[in-house]
Structure 1
Amino acid sequence: MRYLLSRTSLKLIGLIFSMLLFIGFFIASIALGKTAISLQTTYDAFFHFDESMTEHVIVRTSRLTRTVIAAVIGCSLALAGALMQALTRNPLAAPDIFGINAGALFFIVVAVTFFNVNSMVGYMWIAFVGAGVAAMLVYFLGSLGKDGLSPVKIVLAGAAISALFISFAQGLLVIDEQKIQTVLFWLAGSVAGRNMDMLLPVLPFIAGAIVLTLFLGKGINILLLGDDVAKGLGQKTVVIKVLMGIMVVFLAGGSVAVAGSIGFIGLIVPHMARGLVGSDYRWVIPYSALLGATLMIVADIGARFIIMPQDMPIGVMTAFMGVPFFIYIARRGLAKK
């Protein structure tokens, strides 16, 4: 596979540029919106805060929180997608494609509808359980048959599980219409209206998963050589695979608990990273983290302006970007590789 940055020095430069790009869009996200805020005012809001100025309050209480959450969710989903594509050796793997997001969402709907769960900590653990159950179901269904697990079968299993959980969630809302407004919070998939109180309970798990994932690059490279070769090199392949699966559950489940079901970030970003640095996961992982955070922030900025003064759900923006990319991958037949 051809990629742009072949030398280590170029990859380092690209990583620095990606960081600067992320910082630039992070600042733009704080400044742009229904109320335009200048860079000087943004700076003053942080270093010379005046609670009597509306713009300062907007920056501190709304824009900053929204941007931080978008960055964390984008990073998490991108890393989850990168891990899943390596684990399944399937370029179409992503938390939304394989039903993991839908599983987390369905379990939250069940908890809200039948058990009146209303705490963020409760949503977090329920999302983790839902993501884990969905992942196991997809793996089980994709492994059925004499040929065992295959890229095509696991994609079909993921699509089936995703459709099943979404249908069940919608059915529960029909039964109990009073819960619709509460559950729409997650169905829409958005970072608007979220606050740090929603992120903080989940953050230790997401941050821990991100940090551990950054150290899995070498192990994933060996795993991609094939199980037999990896075992011959002394790698405990089962341990690596289990760790990767747990990280996916924490990253995807935590993202759904905070922002709802947001698609295609986990699909697009790992391909972008591999297009830049190749298949070396020591580089793919940090690039995916930065590019995922940046792309989510860009999508959120776009969501503010499409139907201003209302905010479009960010899931609509990511789908708008992701669907053509999904079709492109499928048409090239990459899923068969």
Structure 2
Amino acid sequence: MAESTTTALAGARELADNAPKTAKTRHYLPVRAGGKATTRQAAWLLAAVVVLSLLAAASLAIGARGLSLATVWQALTLFDPANGDHAVVHARIPRTVLGILVGGALGLAGAAMQGVARNPLADPGIMGVNAGAALAVVTGIYVFGVTSLGGYIWFAFIGAGAAAVVVYLIASMGRDGATPVKLALSGAALSAGLYSLMSVILVSSQDTLDRFRFWQVGGIAGRDWAVVLPGLPFLAVGALIILGTGRILNSLALGDDIARGLGQRVGLTRGVTALGIVLLCGSATALAGPIGFVGLVIPHVVRSLTGPDYRWILPFSLVLAPALLLGADIIGRVVLLPGEVPAGIMTALVGAPVFVWLIRRGKGAGL
């Protein structure tokens, strides 16, 4: 046993050393970045932060009532309660902050889920986590009469956690255990079943449907600080957990046997990472509804910039995912004036062509 482990570790190190020689290996194995590569990645991360900052400013300025950036700056620094433009800016702040928080949570959760499952198609929507949270929220409305968005969060946590456990247990059945393909298939099957149960409840209760349909499409409009603040502690804890798993996910990318040989307790690390994913997905889904595609497409975009090192993938996902969500929300505000298209719909319309383009160019890096 010791000899086979040593041989496996030696083989992994040899592959990692030779990774720059072939494009295929470079996509599949995390390698230690050199000084120039680290500087380049840091520069890209700084550029991503700048883009997010510009989109946040645009989110405060653009809408049914367009404002200049100078007016936005005055409203933030020299607020005048009697100025209607200043009041509009302050009314948009919770929406913008929620977009940053939810986008960051979905981006981190999607990247971590792809790393844990070693499946490039893993994301909170495909793996059944969003469906579990949504069904739990519907149950809370129908059975317990929950009406506030703040009250949805506990049901969303329970549903997201239960769905994650069920998917893993189903995928673990059989000789090979929870393989990436089995995880994806189990998540897709469970999502279909949970959404069917949710539909049964909704068609049997008009009152539940009326309360749920605004939340169901996914969006960050109409939320205030009373909705945003209850989710902050859970989002913060989940983000800290996931951001600390970069080295762990790099080890898991080499396979469970190699990860154990490198000293990782695979079951424990997967459980801790899953806890962070559930906290992020449950909070984001409770606050903004089931927004899809962000956690799927952003990690692929990030890998085209950083390579497969999760120590860079995670912080990049934390920044670029809210940029996508804010951009989609801004477009949704102006595309059908005086109405709005919810951000959950716009993320799919904006993200789907980008994802197809990445795949066709061969930039959707494998795991």
TM-score (norm 2): 0.86
In the alignment, which residue of structure 2 is the partner of 1:125?
154
Measure how far apart 1:72 and its partner are: 0.6
Q: Which residue among 279, 289, 296 is the counterpart of 1:250?
A: 279
1:18-58 per-residue CA deviation (whole Å, 9 max, x = no partner) reads 11111111101111111010111111111111112111111
Q: Which residue among 215, 218, 227 is the counterpart of 1:189?
A: 218
Measure how far apart 1:148 and its partner are: 3.1
Measure how far apart 1:143 and its partner are: 2.9
In the alignment, which residue of structure 2 is the partner of 1:45?
75
In the alignment, which residue of structure 1 is the partner of 2:339?
310
Matched, 1:270 2:296: no
Q: Which residue among 47, 54, 60 is the counterpart of 2:84?
A: 54
Secondary structure at the aligned position of 1:270 is classed as helix
Unaligned segments of structure 1, at least 5 residues: none
Instruction: Classify 1:328/1:41 alpha carbon distance in 2 versus 1 (closer, same or farther; 3 Å).
Output: closer
Instruction: Classify 1:290/1:324 alpha carbon distance in 2 versus 1 (closer, same or farther; 3 Å).
Output: same
TM-score (norm 1): 0.93
In the alignment, which residue of structure 1 is the partner of 2:65?
35
Measure how far apart 1:160 and its partner are: 1.6
Whole-angstrom CA distance in 1 between matches of 2:358 and 2:182: 17
Secondary structure at the aligned position of 2:218 is classed as coil
Q: Which residue among 348, 356, 363 is the counterpart of 1:319?
A: 348
In the alignment, which residue of structure 1 is the partner of 2:189?
160
Instruction: Classify 1:173/1:76 alpha carbon distance in 2 versus 1 (closer, same or farther; 3 Å).
Output: same
Residue 333 of structure 2 aligns to which amino acid in structure 1?
R
Residue 154 of structure 2 aligns to which amino acid in structure 1?
W
Please say if residues 77 and 251 of structure 1, whose CA atoms lie closer than 8 Å, have aligned partners that are also in contact.
Answer: yes
Alignment of 1:163-174 (within 5 A): 163-174=192-203
**Aligned Cα RMSD in Å?**
2.2
Please say if residues 186 and 256 of structure 1, whose CA atoms lie closer than 8 Å, have aligned partners that are also in contact.
Answer: no
Q: Which residue among 143, 160, 172 is the counterpart of 1:143?
A: 172
Q: Percent identity?
A: 40
Measure how far apart 1:186 and its partner are: 2.0
Please say if residues 137 and 156 of structure 2, whose CA atoms lie closer than 8 Å, have aligned partners that are also in contact.
Answer: yes
1:90-139 per-residue CA deviation (whole Å, 9 max, x = no partner) reads 00000011111111011000110111123445311110110011111222
Measure how far apart 1:330 and its partner are: 7.7
In the alignment, which residue of structure 2 is the partner of 1:227?
256
In the alignment, which residue of structure 1 is the partner of 2:125?
96
Q: Which residue among 112, 115, 137 is the counterpart of 1:86?
A: 115
Residue 107 of structure 1 aligns to which amino acid in structure 2?
A
Larger gyration radius, structure 1 or structure 2: 2
Measure how far apart 1:215 and its partner are: 1.7
Whole-angstrom CA distance in 1 between matches of 2:132 and 2:102: 17
Whole-angstrom CA distance in 1 between matches of 2:359 and 2:46: 32
Residue 50 of structure 1 aligns to which amino acid in structure 2?
D
Secondary structure at the aligned position of 2:327 is classed as helix
Please say if residues 292 and 347 of structure 2, whose CA atoms lie closer than 8 Å, have aligned partners that are also in contact.
Answer: yes
After TM superposition, the structure 1 stretch with the greater mean CA deviation from structure 2, 315-324 or 19-28, is 315-324
Alignment of 1:203-214 (within 5 A): 203-214=232-243
In the alignment, which residue of structure 1 is the partner of 2:289?
260
Instruction: Classify 1:268/1:328 alpha carbon distance in 2 versus 1 (closer, same or farther; 3 Å).
Output: same
Whole-angstrom CA distance in 2 between matches of 1:246 and 1:312: 32
1:173-205 per-residue CA deviation (whole Å, 9 max, x = no partner) reads 111102222111321101011112111111111
Whole-angstrom CA distance in 1 between matches of 2:126 and 2:308: 21
> Which portions of structure 1, spanning 4 or more consecutive aligned residues, are displaced by more than 6 angstroms?
328-332, 334-337
Aligned residues: 335
Alignment of 1:11-26 (within 5 A): 11-26=41-56
In the alignment, which residue of structure 1 is the partner of 2:327?
298
